[in-house]
Structure 1
C-alpha cells in the first residue's frame, strides 16, 4: 500500500497525457462527422433534387468495353480456383479477361489456375520474372506486362484495369458499373465490405464495422475535401490513360515496389497528375423472401442492395495483427517516407488523419490500462475499511475534469457514428455489437502498430526490403456465396423458365398495377406459384 500514492500520481500524469491526445483526435473526428452531415443534407435538398440518380438499367444499356482484371497471387492454391470459378459464373459481363500473376516457385497455385484456364478462355497466366514472394506491387507490374503483350497479340485495347484479390466475392453488376463510368473517370473505387460473421467472431467481425464506417462516411467526405481517394486494392479500376501516364513518368514501373500499400500510393499519384478519381456507391432494387416474426409466413420484400466487393477478413487474432501491421506500415510509415507532406492544406490534413493512427492506436490501449489500474486500486482500498482514503484523481471543475467530460462526449459520437454506419449496411443487430467490437479492434490495432514499428525499425537498420507479408485467405463456402441477390426476372430468364418477352409483359403490368413481380408472373401463368416459391427460397 506504501507505493499506491506514487502509482496514483503516475496514473494522473498519464491520464492527462492520454486525455490531451484523445481531445486532439476527437476534434479531428468531430470535423469529419459535421462535414458528413452537412454534405448529406446539402446533397439531399440541393443536389439530388436536380439530378436523377444512376439506375441499374442505365449501366446495363451501355455497350460493353474490354476490361482487364488483375489478380496477384502468391500461395493461393487453396482459394484461387474457387474464386475464379465463382467470378466467372456470377458476374454479369462478357468482354473481360482475368490475368493472374503467379510466381515460378509456386507450382500449386499455377496448377489451380491452369485447371480453370481449361474451363474458360477468360483466364490467363502471367508468370513473374523472379521467385516469390517479392511484394504485391512487383506482381502487379508483371501482370501489367502480360496485359500489354495480350493486347498486342490480340489487337485489342482494355478500357480499364481492375484490381481484385483472391478472396473477393464480386457483385454481378460491378463490372457493368465500371464499364459505364469509363472513360469518364480515371480511377473508380467501389465499396469494400466484410462478409457476415457470427456474432461471437469479434476478430473477423470488427472489420465489418471499420469498413462500414470507412466506406459509408469517411471516404465520401475525403473525396469531397480533396477530390482524391486512396485505392483500396480491391474493387478499384484505373483507366488506360491513368496506367499509361503513371508508367511513362515512372520508368514503366506502374506500382511502387517500395511500399506494402501500393494501392494507397497510386491514388496520390493520380491526383498529382490531375486525373479524375471517384468513389461510387450504387444501390439497386432486389426482391428477397423474409419470414414474418409474428406469423411465421414468408413474404417477398424489396430491399436496396449495394454494388460492392465482399470478402472474409482474418478471424484469428495474430493473422489480423499481421494484416493490419502491413496497412500501418505501408500507409503510416512508408507513406510518410515516400509521399512526405506534399500538397495543399486539404491533402496535408488527410495525411495527418492517415498517420495519426501511429499514435492513437497505442494511446487507446494505454487508456484502457489506466482505467484498469485505477479501478483495481480503488477496489482494493474499498475492501479495507481501515485503509487511507486517497483524494480523487480528478477533482470536479479542474481542467482535467472538463477534458474528460469533452472526451466522453467525443466517445459517444464515435460509438453513435460507428453504429449508424454499420446499421445502414448490416442491420441493427450488427450495429449494437459494433461497440464491444470497437474495444477489441483497438487491442488488435495496438499490437499491429507495435509490430509495424518493429518491422520498420529493422528495415531502417538493415535496409532489407520488407517482403510480401501475405494474409492467408479463406473463401466462403457455397452456401455463403449467395450474398448478392439476383433480380427475380433475370434469374428466371437465365434458368430458361420464362422468356424476355414474358418478363417485359409482366413488368408492364407491374407499372399499371404495382404489386410483387412474382405474384404477377404467377397470375399470368408464366410460372406456377409453388415452383416460384421454391425458386425464391433458394435464390
Structure 2
C-alpha cells in the first residue's frame, strides 16, 4: 500500500472519530446546560420564595436539645492519620452527646495501637474489631461497626438516634453535627457538602479534586435533590436517622451495607430512595468578619468570610493514587451500580443514573478529543509548512454541518469552563479559579486512566468471581497550621446571622 493510501485511510478514520466525539460532546454539553438551567431556576425560586430568610440561625442550632449520635469510622491501615483526626474531633466538635466507633482489623496492629492511645484519654471513643483480617471491603467494616454499636446500646442503655459516616482523613466542621441534630428525625438522610482543603497552584492532581467537588457540591447535588428528591450518599459527612438504619437492615437480612459494592455509600443512598426515606442536601453558611491583607497593597482590611459547614479533606496528590481511588469509584458507581441498581425508578431517577454512568463513555471521549485536535492541527501544519505537498481535504470544512457542530461544542465547552471557574472562585478565590482551567485537562487524563483501570478490575471480577478488595487510598491529615479559618475552627468573630439553604422538611 502506498503511503498516500495510508494517509488517506488515516484521514477517513480521523474524520469518523471527529464525528463520534463531536456528537458525544454535544449530547453531554446539552445535558450539562440543562443542569445549569435547573440550578438557575433553583436560585431564582430560593430568592423569591424567601427560603434563606426562614432558616435557623446558629444560635437556634445551638439551643436545640442534642440527640445521641454514633459516629462510624472504618479504619484499615490508617495509623498515620487516625490519632490526629480523633483528637481534633474531640477538641473542636461543638456537640456533646456523641460516641465514636472505630472499625479495625486483627492484622492491623498499628491502627489498633493509635486508637487505643485515644481511648486512653476519652471514653467517647470505642474500637470495634472485625472477625476477619483486612482488607475486606468498607461495607463489611461498616456492618461490623453497626453490630458493635448495637452491642454498646444493650450494655449501656444508650439509644442512638443519629448515625454518621466519616472517614479517617476528614476535617469535620465544628457545627456539622448541630446541623444533623436540627434536620433529623424530620429527615432520614442528611448529606453535608464535601470539599477539598486548599491546594498550591502546582498541585494539579490534588487541585483537580478541589475543582470537581466545588462544582459537584455547590450545584450538581442541589439540582439532583430538586429534580429527584434524592441524593447519593458521599460516605462522609452523611447522617442517617435510626428509622433509616433499622428499616434498611430489616429489609436486607440484618446486613446494613452491600458488601458486593465498592461504593456502599452510593448504593445506600439509592436504597434510601427506594425505601421512601426523606433525604436532604444541607448547605449551611456562617458569615464571619475577619481581617485579610489586600492582594495588591498588602494592607489589612476587614472583610466578610462565608464559612461553609462542610467536611474537608486532602484528596490524593499523586497521579497513581488518584487513578486507583477514582477507578474504585467508577467500578462501584457505574459498573457495580449498573449491575445491582439497573435502571429502576422513575424518569428523574433514571436520568440521574444516566448522568452517573455516562462517565464510562465521556472519560474516554475527552482524551479521544485531544487526539482529534492533534490530528487536525498536524494536518494544518503539514499543509502550511510544505505548500508543494499534496493538499488533503480538510477534516472540517467551513460552512458544513460538522463545522457548525464544532462551533456549538466550542461554545458549550467555554460555558462549562466558566461554570467550573465560577464555583471554584466562590470557595477558593480567583487564583484557584484561574488554575481550574488547565486542571480540567489534567483531570481528564486522570479520569481516562481511572476508567481503564475500572474496566480491567471489573472484567477480572467477571472472569474469576473474586470480589474486588478494598483498594484503600493513603490519606494525609493536615496540621492545625494548614487549616484555614473556614475549616470550622472556633472563633469569636462569628456573626449570629447564618443562612441555611437546602430543601429540608423542618420540624
Taking structure 2 as the reference length, the TM-score comes to: 0.94
RMSD of aligned alpha carbons: 1.7
Residue 505 (structure 2) aligns with: none
Please name the residue that 1:36 is paired with.
39
Question: Could you tell me which of 223, 237, 246 is aligned with 1:221?
Answer: 223
8 Å contact kept, 1:287–1:487:
no
Aligned partners of 2:135 and 2:469 also within 8 Å: yes
Q: Which has the larger radius of gyration?
A: 1
Cα distance in 2 for partners of 1:311, 1:487 equals: 18
In structure 1, the residue matched to 2:161 is 159
**Structure 2 contact 237–310 (Cα < 8 Å) conserved:** yes
Secondary structure in 1 aligned to 2:290? strand
Aligned equivalent of 1:101 = 103
Q: Distance in 1 between matches of 2:230 and 2:7?
A: 52
**Partner Cα separation in structure 1 for residue 299 and residue 23 of structure 2:** 55
Q: Which residue of 1 aligns with 2:116?
A: 114
Matched residue, 1:321: 323
In structure 1, what is the Cα distance between the partners aligned to 2:295 and 2:355? 44
Deviation of residue 424 (structure 1)?
Answer: 1.5
Residues 194 and 208 in structure 1, CA contact (< 8 A), matched pair in contact too: yes
Per mean C-alpha deviation after superposition, the further-off stretch among 5-14 and 331-340 is 5-14
Counterpart of 2:14 (choices 1, 11, 16) is: 11
Deviation at 1:400, TM superposition (A): 1.1
Q: Which runs of 5+ in 2 are unaligned?
A: 498-507
Shift of 1:295: 5.0
Matches within 5 A, 1:47-66: 47-48=50-51, 51-66=53-68
Preserved CA contact (<8 Å) 2:309 2:488? no
Q: Distance in 1 between matches of 2:120 and 2:155?
A: 20
2-structure distance, mates of 1:65, 1:485:
21
2:372 counterpart of 1:370: yes
Match of 1:498 in 2: none
> Which shows bigger deviation, 377-386 or 248-257?
377-386
Q: Distance in 1 between matches of 2:88 and 2:14?
A: 55
Task: Name the CA shift for 1:256/1:283 in 2 (closer, same or farther; >3 Å).
Answer: same
Q: How many residues align?
A: 493
2:273 paired with 1:271: yes
Which of 335, 354, 358 is matched with 1:356 structurally? 358
Deviation at 1:434, TM superposition (A): 1.0
* Counterpart residue number, 1:128: 130
CA distance in 2, matches of 1:420, 1:230: 24
Check if 1:22 corresponds to 2:25: yes
**Which stretch shifts more, 460-469 or 415-424?**
415-424
Structure 2 Cα separation of the partners of residues 183 and 448 of structure 1: 38
* Shift, 1:435, TM fit: 1.2
Distance 1:210 1:294 in 2: 29
| Correspondence for 2:341 | 339
Which shifted more, 392-401 or 201-210?
392-401
2:202 corresponds, among 200, 203, 219, to: 200
Q: Which position in structure 1 is the counterpart of 2:503?
A: none
Unaligned segments of structure 1, at least 5 residues: 492-506, 512-539
Q: Distance in 2 between matches of 1:119 and 1:485?
A: 23
Deviation string, structure 1 residues 286-323 (Cα, Å, up to 9, x no partner): 22221134653323322110000000000000100000
Q: Is the 8 A contact 1:286 1:487 kept in 2?
A: no
**Distance of aligned partners of 1:461 and 1:108 in 2 relative to their CA distance in 1, 3 Å threshold:** same
| Alignment pair present for 1:86 and 2:88 | yes
Q: 1:246 aligns with which of 237, 245, 248?
A: 248
- Provide the rounded CA distance (Å) in 2 between the counterparts of 1:438 and 1:187: 32
Contact 1:286 1:485 in 2 (8 A): no
Q: 1:136 to 1:486 in 2, by over 3 A?
A: closer
Question: Residues 296 and 414 from structure 1, CA distance in 2 versus in 1: closer, same or farther, beyond 3 angstroms?
Answer: closer
Aligned partners of 2:87 and 2:42: how far apart in 1? Answer: 41
Q: TM-score, normalised by structure 1?
A: 0.89
Partner of residue 45 from structure 1, selected from 48, 65, 71: 48
